[in-house]
């Protein structure tokens, strides 16, 4: 038996068709079901439903053998104990620096001002600004990052952008790309060795489905 950790929402919506193409069909709709463990059309494969940020943790400790997680979440987790063999090319977006319309980001950076940056992505943001030599004070938030520049909590945010509608609705503009993001398949390293006979065909089928 293998378990695949998935999160509800975007990742799930885009993953179910991919799993189906790989011959794995959920026995009930995880979006509407209250069940957190969901059987599939394959008796040796089940789905477990966790928060997006918890997916790498479940797979790292082997509580799930496989998982599907955004590159943003994986970068923050660090990837310890995980193989990341396949970019699924879904739930694509960009991690961006954004500021209030009218805030002169280039000028602030040029002057070496100490920027206050609010984000859920502390690790990634720290590395990004360190590589640019920009001094930042990072403020950890868990959601609604867009509010931070509007309320004076921060000068800038680092957040995910897909359509850009959320930034626009809040009078913010993206000024810099931090990373391009997509969801990846992750596999527990020990499970990949011990359960290779079950996992390898799933990996192969998903690889074909992505193409």
Chain residues in the site for ligand PRT (CB under 6 A): 7, 9-11, 51-53, 70, 72-73, 91, 93, 159-166, 181, 183
Query: Can you tell me whether residue 38 is helix, strand or coil?
Result: strand
Nearest CB to ligand PRT, comparing residues 54 and 127: 54
In the sheet that holds 172-181, the strands lie side by side as 136-140, 115-119, 156-161, 93-100, 172-181
- CA gap 110, 132 in Å, rounded: 11
- CA gap 191, 34 in Å, rounded: 27
As measured in angstroms, the least distance from the Cβ of 68 to ligand PRT is 10
Nearest CB to ligand PRT, comparing residues 166 and 189: 166
> What CA–CA distances, in Å, run from 79 to 23, 122, 124, 178, 188?
27, 15, 13, 19, 10
As measured in angstroms, the least distance from the Cβ of 56 to ligand PRT is 11
Note whether 46 and 3 are within 8 A (CB): yes
Nearest CB to ligand PRT, comparing residues 34 and 193: 34
Nearest CB to ligand PRT, comparing residues 82 and 160: 160
Q: How far is C-alpha 110 from the chain's CA centre?
A: 31
As measured in angstroms, the least distance from the Cβ of 174 to ligand PRT is 9
As measured in angstroms, the least distance from the Cβ of 195 to ligand PRT is 26
Cβ neighbours of residue 60 under 8 Å, at least 6 residues apart? Answer: 77, 80, 81, 82, 188
Cβ neighbours of residue 136 under 8 Å, at least 6 residues apart? Answer: 114, 115, 116, 117, 125, 126, 129
As measured in angstroms, the least distance from the Cβ of 107 to ligand PRT is 25
As measured in angstroms, the least distance from the Cβ of 198 to ligand PRT is 26
Nearest CB to ligand PRT, comparing residues 97 and 109: 97
Nearest CB to ligand PRT, comparing residues 109 and 183: 183
């Amino acid at each position: 038996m293998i378990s695949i950790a998935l999160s509800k929402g975007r990742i799930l919506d885009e993953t179910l068709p991919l799993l189906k193409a790989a011959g794995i069909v959920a026995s009930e709709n995880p979006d509407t079901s209250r069940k957190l463990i969901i059987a599939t059309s394959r008796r040796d494969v089940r789905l477990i439903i966790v928060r997006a940020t918890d997916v790498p943790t479940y797979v790292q400790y082997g509580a799930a053998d496989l998982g599907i997680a955004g590159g943003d979440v994986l970068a923050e987790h660090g990837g310890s104990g995980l193989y990341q063999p396949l970019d699924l090319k879904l739930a694509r977006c960009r991690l961006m620096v954004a500021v209030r319309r009218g805030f002169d980001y280039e000028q602030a950076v040029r002057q070496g001002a100490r920027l206050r940056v609010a984000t859920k992505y502390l690790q990634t943001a720290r590395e990004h600004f360190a590589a640019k030599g920009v001094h930042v004070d990072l403020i950890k938030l868990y959601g609604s990052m867009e509010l931070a520049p509007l309320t004076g909590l921060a000068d800038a945010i680092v957040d995910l952008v897909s359509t850009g509608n959320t930034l626009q609705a809040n009078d913010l503009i993206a000024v810099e790309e931090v990373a391009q993001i997509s969801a990846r398949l992750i596999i527990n390293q020990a499970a990949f060795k011990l359960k290779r006979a079950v996992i390898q065909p799933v990996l192969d089928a998903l690889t074909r489905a992505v193409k």
